[in-house]
């Protein structure tokens, strides 16, 4: 005869209740009054990101703070990326005001914030859009400039000249020339070029591309000879000068200097220097 005691009966009932929970019950109460609940270990992951668990914004299943321009949002909404010249404020992308009035001494970043304008990553002034300087440049006086402008190559362009009254003594007056017929011969770094002749002018304008040369050669010297183009084999030279181009000239892209003879200024020469 099998005798089932009260303790064995309780144990059997407990095993039966546990087996039911393993097979899928969400919550079961045992005959002894003890609560049994099975919680899935990945329940939080299955919940994902939503307004129920994220005060910022949702990037996929990840809750972000929602305060940056790259992930902006609030209340569990999908994160958005703000446009250039926008910032994230209160979970929304809003336009910022950055211009010459609000940022006179610096430059405006892509997020429309005023930057100091004195770094290679944000260089500029006057409220203009900040520039990112090249690897061979530095930010000087809020302008991206070559660390050594002489390392670049430059196209030399003769723009023009202004001759003084003293230059008339070198111009031919025997063929009814009342003004000079001027052309230039220009050399630097072993290369040279001539302009065409501008007749009867004390302010000739050429805008003539002469040659390309490295900045170090220009800094060593740009030699210019100014001639009066006369009929016949001999053209009087009005003056000549060797000018050492400066870093400031290379940076600005222009050089202007005087050409003298006998201690008298005969011409002021203007050149354009285009970096390439």
Sign, CA torsion 149/151/157/158: positive
Based on the domain organization, do 156 and 270 belong to the same domain? yes
256, 154: one domain: yes
In the listed set 99, 130, 146, which residue is the last one of a domain according to the structure? 146
Q: Are residues 159 and 186 part of one domain?
A: yes
Q: Identify whether the C-beta of residue 255 lies closer than 8 Å to the C-beta of residue 249.
A: yes
For the chain, how many structural domains are there in total? 3
Cα distance between residue 99 and residue 255, in whole Å = 32
Question: Are 231 and 129 within one domain?
Answer: no
Q: What is the pLDDT of residue 192?
A: 97
User: Residues 6 or more apart from 224 whose CB is under 8 A from it?
Assistant: 184, 185, 186, 240, 241, 242, 243, 259, 269
- Based on the domain organization, do 124 and 223 belong to the same domain? no
96 and 76 in contact (C-beta within 8 Å)? no
What are the residues whose beta carbons fall under 8 Å from the beta carbon of 144, sequence distance 6 or more? 120, 123, 131, 133, 134, 137, 138
Under a CB-based contact definition with an 8 Å cutoff, are residues 199 and 231 in contact?
no
Whether residues 57 and 112 fall in one domain: no
pLDDT per 10-residue tile (average), the chain, 276 residues: 47 48 42 36 57 94 93 95 84 86 91 90 94 88 86 94 75 63 95 95 95 96 92 81 95 94 91 93
What local confidence, expressed as pLDDT, does residue 115 receive? Answer: 94
Question: Rounded to an integer, what distance in angstroms lies between the CA atom of residue 182 and that of residue 232?
Answer: 15
Same domain, 168 and 262: yes
Report residue 111 CA to chain centroid gap: 14
For residue 149, the model assigns a pLDDT of 82
Is residue 239 situated within a structural domain?
Answer: yes
* pLDDT score at 42: 39
Statement to judge: residues 161 and 137 lie in one domain: no
**Total residue length of the chain:** 276
CA atoms 99, 102, 103, 108: torsion sign: negative
Do 252 and 205 fall within a single domain? Answer: yes
Give the residue numbers spanning the domain of 125.
Answer: 107-146
User: Encoding tokens for residue 269?
Assistant: 């020469």
User: What is the model's pLDDT at position 150?
Assistant: 86
pLDDT score recorded for residue 262: 85
| Contact yes or no for 159/207 (Cβ under 8 A) | yes
| Residue 203: its H or E element | none
- Pair 172, 264 in one domain: yes
- What is the C-alpha separation between 148 and 18, in angstroms, rounded? 82
- 214 and 266, same structural domain? yes
pLDDT of residue 174: 52
Kindly state whether residue 246 falls inside one of the protein's structural domains.
yes
Distance CA 92, CA 176 (A): 79
Tell me, yes or no, whether 141 and 127 share the same domain: yes
pLDDT of residue 20: 46
């Amino acid at each position: 005869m099998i005798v089932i005691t009260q303790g064995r009966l309780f144990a059997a009932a407990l095993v039966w209740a546990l087996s039911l929970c393993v097979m899928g019950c969400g919550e079961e109460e045992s005959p002894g009054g003890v609560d049994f609940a099975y919680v899935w270990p990945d329940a939080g992951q299955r919940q994902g990101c939503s307004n129920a668990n994220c005060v910022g914004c949702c990037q996929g299943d990840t809750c972000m703070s929602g305060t940056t321009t790259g992930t902006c949002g609030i209340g569990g909404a999908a994160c958005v990326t703000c446009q250039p010249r926008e910032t994230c404020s209160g979970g929304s992308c809003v336009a910022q005001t950055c211009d010459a009035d609000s940022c006179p001494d610096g430059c405006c970043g892509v997020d429309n914030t005023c930057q100091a304008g004195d770094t290679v990553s944000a260089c500029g002034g006057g409220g203009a859009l900040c520039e990112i300087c090249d690897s061979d440049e530095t930010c000087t006086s809020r302008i991206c400039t070559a660390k050594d402008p002489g390392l670049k190559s430059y196209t030399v362009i003769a723009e023009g000249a202004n001759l003084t009254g003293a230059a008339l003594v070198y111009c031919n007056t025997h063929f009814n020339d009342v003004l000079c017929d001027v052309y230039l011969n220009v050399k630097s770094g072993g290369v040279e070029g001539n302009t065409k002749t501008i007749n009867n002018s004390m302010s000739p304008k050429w805008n003539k591309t002469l040659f390309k040369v490295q900045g170090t050669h220009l800094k060593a010297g740009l030699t210019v000879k100014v001639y009066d183009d006369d009929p016949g084999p001999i053209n009087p030279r009005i003056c000549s000068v060797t000018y050492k181009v400066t870093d400031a000239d290379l940076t600005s892209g222009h050089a202007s200097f005087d050409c003298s003879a006998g201690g008298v200024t005969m011409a002021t020469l203007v050149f354009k220097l285009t970096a390439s």
